[in-house]
Amino acid sequence: METAQAMSEPLFQNLEDAVVVAETALLDTQVAVESLRAELDQFTRLHQIQLGPLYGRLDELDALTAETEAAMTGDPEAIRRAVEARARVDGEDPMLFAAANAGLLDDEEEGSEQSETPRRPREEPAAPKPDPDTPVRPSKTAQRLYRELARRSHPDLVQNPTEIARRHAFITRVNAAYEKDDLPGLQKLSEEWSLTSSGPAKDNPQRELWLRGRLIWLRAKQAELALERQTLMENPMADVLAAYQYDSLTALRSISEQLYTAISEREALLNSLIGS
């Protein structure tokens, strides 16, 4: 009996150590994923603000050039290119735009004459906005999560003043998410509590079971974050940033120089067509 107990202590400590290692790895991964997300969000926003007008100017020059060539030659292929280039500038679907100009799209009402002007792709009606004065009734899933979180993190369950304050702050966030029926927010709070809770005391018989469950959760969360990072890396903006060693300023400067060069070349081409 004593031998079995002596053997269980190292195994129990190994389980404790494995949980600590998994917690540290998860925190490091969370920081890395959030940092990558912040970099991509910032770069995407700056890219749109600073370079969007330049891309727009390029598209306009391409459309003008294509339209000039179409007017000069009358070639059907040149006309098709001009129609598609103008559709891109106007934000149309080039295929629908071209079909409409060729008279291939019928009007919505059966038997009506074809429209003389191209139509935009049909847009779905916008969903009605919720009335801000209407109270939100939390869903059953939100109610279940709320009860579980309140049971696990209620301040009355502890006596340490620091822990009481921490739980008060946490339960305030839980209440706010519940009032808004914010199910994703409640789920994140549940994960956060599982991550920060220390679980049963080391001399508690339930400690080993809690450690095993926590290790399973930590590894599952690590896999989830790895998938999230992979998804972020598949963003086209991530490829651009990676090409510049994740230096947003250098990337923006280099791309803008390339765009200005391309604009100058397009303007010269257009001027030569008009002057010929």
CB 63 within 8 A of CB 86: yes
Residue-range definition of the domain harbouring residue 225: 2-107+181-275
Cβ neighbours of 254 (radius 10 Å): 14
- Tokens at residue 274, please? 């008009």
Decide if 63 is inside a domain.
yes
What is the model's pLDDT at position 79? 93
Provide the terminal-to-terminal Cα distance of the chain, rounded to the nearest Å.
101
DSSP symbol at 4 = H
Q: Tell me, yes or no, whether 11 lies in a domain.
A: yes
Does some domain include residue 124? no
In a domain, 121, yes or no: no
Residue type, 163: E
Please report the pLDDT score of residue 107 as a whole number.
43
Q: If DSSP codes are grouped into helix, strand and coil, which group holds residue 205?
A: coil
The answer as to whether 221 is a domain residue is yes
| Residue 53 belongs to a domain | yes
Q: Which two tokens stand for residue 207?
A: 């400690």
Q: Which residue, among 211, 163, 243, has the nearest Cα to 17 in the 3D structure? A: 211
The answer to the question of residue 146 being in a domain is no
Q: How far is residue 220's CA from residue 229's CA, in Å, rounded to a whole number?
A: 14
- Which residue numbers in the chain have pLDDT < 70? 1-8, 92-137, 195-196, 276
User: What single DSSP character describes residue 247?
Assistant: -
3 state SS of 240: helix
**Using one digit for the tens of pLDDT, what is the confidence trace for 153-183?**
878 777 788 888 888 888 898 888 888 888 8
Q: Tell me, yes or no, whether 41 lies in a domain.
A: yes
Residue 66, pLDDT score: 93
Q: Count the domains in the chain.
A: 1
Output the pLDDT for position 85: 92
Give the pLDDT of residue 18.
Answer: 92
Alpha helices in the chain (DSSP H): 2-46, 52-73, 76-90, 94-101, 140-153, 161-179, 183-196, 207-233, 236-243, 248-275
- H or E segment to which residue 241 belongs: helix 236-243
